[in-house]
């Protein structure tokens, strides 16, 4: 993939090195990731508050979380296809504008039914934003640094789990749950300003078309890569969804220490994101396999580590490190999607939200069957191994194609 030049320097920018300008663009894109990560994870943290505020019980309020995830799954492919011909800079601004509107309306929701609708709307631009932002980030750097550039964009999401979510929870307790969504809307507007100011101006793509984008769905490697994420990433979510309950029922941790554990998890996400991207820029497919094996082992360790606060901390950190899979699969999709780059990149986040639904569902089944809170670790480990099976099929297809090409040249 060739690099796309940055826009010409403006007055006062002439002395700024090009590498610094690239860093500023990535920071602007990461700000959007921070806003998205804050609303996605903080919505789970403030669920009791908005359930009480809307006069519903907590299980019913959980449907609001599902509505957001459904918006991601549906919105990612639809907006990617519809926006294929647009300038990526303009598309990013529009997507973040829609995200700002959805969260602003969530802060004003008068009832449960309206909250469902507004959270669905908030989720619609999520996947397309990350997909397009990843393509822009990858276009600004040499090919051997693509995954690291994508990881820097996704780092906004991982940092949100360390800083944004605890802040949103504290804000909700101090000013009410509506303030959480209002602040996210403001972060989205800030992202629009930064992208408008810093992102390189690129031309519209009149040669792109919905049919070309949909062509990604004909490629076996695209489906195998999406399957790797949808199954393999489900393991992490199986544990994360029930982590607070496990801390209380098994570890014996009070509510005051729960944020520490979640912050450690976020720290693992950040480290894994950066380390996984570094490895993937050197050996992409082995890096994917390594991250899946890492996750399977860390998740299998979780049931043994859960009884003690001092052992569950490193276990949760190690599980978080497996989250580095996200940026690696994002770049893998760029390589196997052909001309359908926008759709494939956006579908990556549909796959992860599928994992976000699958993991907690299977973990919940294990808990309901009487296997205990820590059984989510075994479920998660099994899902990571399932993702590895999809990777194995993808690797085998690569080997076969390379052998066929070698035979044709001979």
Q: What is the CATH number of the domain that holds 388?
A: 1.20.1250.20
Residue 313 has pLDDT above 90, yes or no: yes
Nearest to 25 by CA among 137, 126, 189: 137
Q: Which of 3-12, 43-52, 238-247 has the weakest average pLDDT?
A: 3-12
Percent of the chain at pLDDT > 70 equals 91
Residue 410 lies in a domain: no
Same domain as 300, residue 184: no
Residue 323 has pLDDT above 80, yes or no: yes
Same domain as 216, residue 200: no
Same domain as 185, residue 67: yes
Same domain as 191, residue 213: no
Question: 204, 236, 252 — which closes off a domain?
Answer: 204
User: Per-residue pLDDT averaged across 329-345, rounded?
Assistant: 80
Phi, then psi, of 128 in degrees rounded to 5: -65, -40
- Is residue 66 a contact partner of residue 119, using CB atoms and an 8 Å limit? no
Same domain as 386, residue 298: yes
User: Per-residue pLDDT averaged across 122-147, rounded?
Assistant: 87
- Is residue 293 a contact partner of residue 388, using CB atoms and an 8 Å limit? yes
Residue 5's pLDDT is 37
Residue 92's pLDDT is 93
The conformational region for residue 176 under phi > 0 = left, psi -120 to 50 = alpha, else beta, is: left
Same domain as 168, residue 95: yes
Buried b (16+ CB within 10 A) or exposed e, 120-152: bbbbbbbbbbbbbbbbbbbbbbeeebbbbbbbb
Q: Which domain holds residue 369?
A: 209-405
Dist CA 394 CA 388 (whole Å): 10
Residue 273's pLDDT is 86
Residue 216 lies in a domain: yes
Average pLDDT of the chain to the nearest whole number: 84
Question: 204, 234, 258 — which closes off a domain?
Answer: 204
Residue 168 has pLDDT above 50, yes or no: yes
- pLDDT grade for 213, boundaries at 50, 70 and 90: low
Residue 6 lies in a domain: no
Residue 127 has pLDDT above 90, yes or no: no
Q: Which of 134-148, 367-381, 383-397 has the weakest average pLDDT?
A: 134-148
pLDDT (tens digit per residue) in 284-308 = 899 999 999 999 999 999 999 999 9
Residue 11 lies in a domain: no
Residue 297's pLDDT is 96
Dist CA 75 CA 125 (whole Å): 6
Phi, then psi, of 285 in degrees rounded to 5: -65, -45
Residue 9's pLDDT is 35
Residue 3 lies in a domain: no
When divided into structural domains, the chain yields a total of: 2
Residue 72 lies in a domain: yes
Dist CA 115 CA 103 (whole Å): 10
Residue 148's pLDDT is 87
Dist CA 237 CA 319 (whole Å): 10
Dist CA 322 CA 302 (whole Å): 13
Same domain as 230, residue 158: no
User: Per-residue pLDDT averaged across 365-383, rounded?
Assistant: 91
Give the length of the chain.
Answer: 410
Percent of the chain at pLDDT > 90 equals 32
SS3 17: coil
Residue 404's pLDDT is 76
388 or 19, which is more confident?
A: 388
- pLDDT grade for 6, boundaries at 50, 70 and 90: very low
Residue 4 lies in a domain: no
- pTM exceeding 0.95: no
pLDDT (tens digit per residue) in 66-119 = 788 888 888 888 888 788 778 889 999 999 999 999 999 999 999 989 999 999
pLDDT (tens digit per residue) in 346-364 = 788 888 878 877 888 888 8
Same domain as 146, residue 23: yes
Question: 204, 223, 245 — which closes off a domain?
Answer: 204
Same domain as 248, residue 196: no
Residue 39's pLDDT is 86
SS3 annotation, 224-239: HHHHHHHHHCHHHHHH
Q: Which of 20-34, 52-66, 84-98 has the weakest average pLDDT?
A: 52-66
- Is residue 37 a contact partner of residue 168, using CB atoms and an 8 Å limit? no
Q: How far apart are the first and last CA of the chain?
A: 27
- pLDDT grade for 199, boundaries at 50, 70 and 90: confident
- pLDDT grade for 340, boundaries at 50, 70 and 90: confident
């Amino acid at each position: 993939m060739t690099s796309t030049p940055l826009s010409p320097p403006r007055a006062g920018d002439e002395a700024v090195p090009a590498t610094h300008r690239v860093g500023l663009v990535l920071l602007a894109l990461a700000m959007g990731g921070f806003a998205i990560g804050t609303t996605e994870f903080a919505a789970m943290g403030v669920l009791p508050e908005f359930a009480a505020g809307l006069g519903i019980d907590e299980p019913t309020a959980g449907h609001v979380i599902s509505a957001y995830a459904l918006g991601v799954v549906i919105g990612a492919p639809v907006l990617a296809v519809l926006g294929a011909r647009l300038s990526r800079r303009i598309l990013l601004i529009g997507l973040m504008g829609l995200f700002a509107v959805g969260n602003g309306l969530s802060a004003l929701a008068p009832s449960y039914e309206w909250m469902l609708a507004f959270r669905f709307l908030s989720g619609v631009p999520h996947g397309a934003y990350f997909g397009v932002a990843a393509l822009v980030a990858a276009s600004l750097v040499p090919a051997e640094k693509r995954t690291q550039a994508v990881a820097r964009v996704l780092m906004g999401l991982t940092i949100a789990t360390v800083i944004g979510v605890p802040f949103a929870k504290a804000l909700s307790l101090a000013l009410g749950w509506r303030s959480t969504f209002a602040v996210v809307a403001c972060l989205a507007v800030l992202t629009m300003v930064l992208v408008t100011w810093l992102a390189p101006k690129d031309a519209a793509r009149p040669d792109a078309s919905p049919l070309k984008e949909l062509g990604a769905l004909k490629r076996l490697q695209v489906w195998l890569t999406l399957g790797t994420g949808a199954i393999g990433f489900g393991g992490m979510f199986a544990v994360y969804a029930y982590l607070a309950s496990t801390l209380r029922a098994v570890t014996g941790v009070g509510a005051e220490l729960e944020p520490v554990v979640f912050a450690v998890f976020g720290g693992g996400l950040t480290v894994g994101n950066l380390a996984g991207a570094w490895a993937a820029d050197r050996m992409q497919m082995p890096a994917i396999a390594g991250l899946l094996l890492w996750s399977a082992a860390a998740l299998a360790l979780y049931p043994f580590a859960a009884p003690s606060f001092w052992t569950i901390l490193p276990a949760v950190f190690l599980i978080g490190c497996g989250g580095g899979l996200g940026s690696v699969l994002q770049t893998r999709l760029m390589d196997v999607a052909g001309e359908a780059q926008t759709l494939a990149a956006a579908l990556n986040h549909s796959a992860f939200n599928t994992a976000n639904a699958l993991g907690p569902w299977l973990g919940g089944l294990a808990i309901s069957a009487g296997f205990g809170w820590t059984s989510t670790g075994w479920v998660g480990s099994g899902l990571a191994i399932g993702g590895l099976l999809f990777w194995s099929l993808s690797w085998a297809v690569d080997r076969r194609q390379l052998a066929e090409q070698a035979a044709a040249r001979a």
